[in-house]
């Protein structure tokens, strides 16, 4: 006759492991739901707990949200070039009375749209459930053109035998370089590029607010 004994340790251990796994899974779910605030993860979290997001999509509220982007800088145009500055005499040749320098210039222009200028009349909401929006953005602007002083330098200069070095020539040449950089940026279409990028940014914002049809120009 054989007598069998069951200590109960195996079933108790399995139960503890199951409870631990359940608690770990619940904690992980809580962490996921608390941190899933945007993008695909937010949509998954909404499906799990039935959470829905709502936004105030009235014209004043939408205008305010867009205006919060303020000066939206969307394009940085960089340029490396050589600029010449010179002083000449109407009487004597440059060898005697001239002053000439060549400057290596590195600078950039920044363009974008000042969305603080957006007005309520620039926003039109329509369609079923007010799900369509049309926005006319303010004009794009060239915000600033600057020279990088660390990479801008005079690499050659010649001064006539009869004249002293013109202390203002370098600063005048820098100003000339800045004007040339600005002109080059405008010529290469920086304002069009700035508007295109701003349209993309605002379009993304409006879709995130729940609009189904978005037209930004």
Rounded to two decimals, the pTM is 0.67
- In a 13 Å sphere around the CA of 153, the CA atoms on its Cβ side amount to 4
Specify the residue for token string 């100003």. Answer: 175
20-59 burial code (b ≥16 CB/10 A, e <16): eeeeeeeeeeeeebeebeeeeeeeebeeeeeeeeeeebee
Residue 126 tokens, joined: 């329509």
Alpha-carbon span 58 to 20, nearest angstrom? 49
- Identify the pLDDT of residue 213: 93
pLDDT value, residue 7: 41
Residue pair 74/193 in contact (Cβ under 8 Å)? The answer is: yes
Task: State the Cα–Cα distance between residues 165 and 75, nearest whole angstrom.
Answer: 39
Contact 33, 48 (CB under 8 A): yes
- Residue 85 near residue 126 (C-beta atoms within 8 A): no
Specify the length of the chain in residues. 217
Cα 1 to chain centroid, rounded: 84
Question: What is the pLDDT, as a whole number, of residue 137?
Answer: 96
What distance in Å separates the CA atoms of residue 37 and residue 207, rounded to the nearest whole number? 16
- The contacts of residue 11 (CB under 8 Å, 6+ apart) are none
pLDDT, averaged per 10 consecutive residues of the chain (217 residues), comes to 40 64 65 53 52 64 88 92 84 78 92 95 90 95 93 84 82 92 95 96 92 94
- CA–CA gap between residue 50 and residue 76 (Å, rounded): 43
| Confidence (pLDDT) at 9 | 46
| pLDDT value for 145 | 95
Half-sphere exposure of 48 (CA within 13 A, CB side): 13
Which pLDDT score is estimated for 48?
Answer: 52
- The closest alpha carbon to 143, from 74, 90, 78, 196, belongs to 74
105: helix, strand or coil: strand
Secondary structure (3-state) at 16: helix
Distance CA 206, CA 203 (A): 5
pLDDT in the model for residue 106: 94
């Amino acid at each position: 006759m054989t007598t069998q004994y069951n200590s109960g340790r195996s079933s108790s251990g399995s139960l503890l492991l199951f409870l631990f796994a359940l608690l770990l899974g619940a904690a992980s779910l809580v962490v996921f739901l608390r941190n899933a605030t945007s993008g695909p993860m937010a949509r998954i979290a909404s499906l799990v707990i039935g959470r829905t997001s709502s936004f105030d999509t009235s014209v004043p509220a939408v205008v305010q949200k867009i205006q919060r982007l303020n000066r939206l800088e969307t394009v940085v145009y960089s340029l490396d070039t050589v600029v010449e500055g010179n002083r000449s005499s109407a009487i004597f040749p440059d060898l005697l009375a001239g002053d000439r320098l060549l400057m290596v210039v590195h600078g950039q222009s920044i363009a974008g749209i000042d969305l603080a200028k957006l007005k309520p009349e620039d926003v039109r909401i329509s369609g079923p459930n007010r799900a369509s929006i049309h926005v006319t953005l303010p004009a794009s602007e060239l915000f600033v053109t600057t020279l990088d002083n660390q990479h801008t330098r005079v690499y050659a200069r010649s001064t006539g035998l009869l004249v002293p070095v013109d202390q203002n020539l370098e600063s005048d040449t820098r100003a000339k370089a800045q004007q040339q950089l600005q002109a080059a940026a405008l010529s290469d279409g920086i304002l069009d590029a700035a508007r295109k990028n701003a349209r993309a940014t605002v379009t993304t914002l409006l879709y995130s607010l729940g609009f189904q049809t978005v037209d930004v120009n």
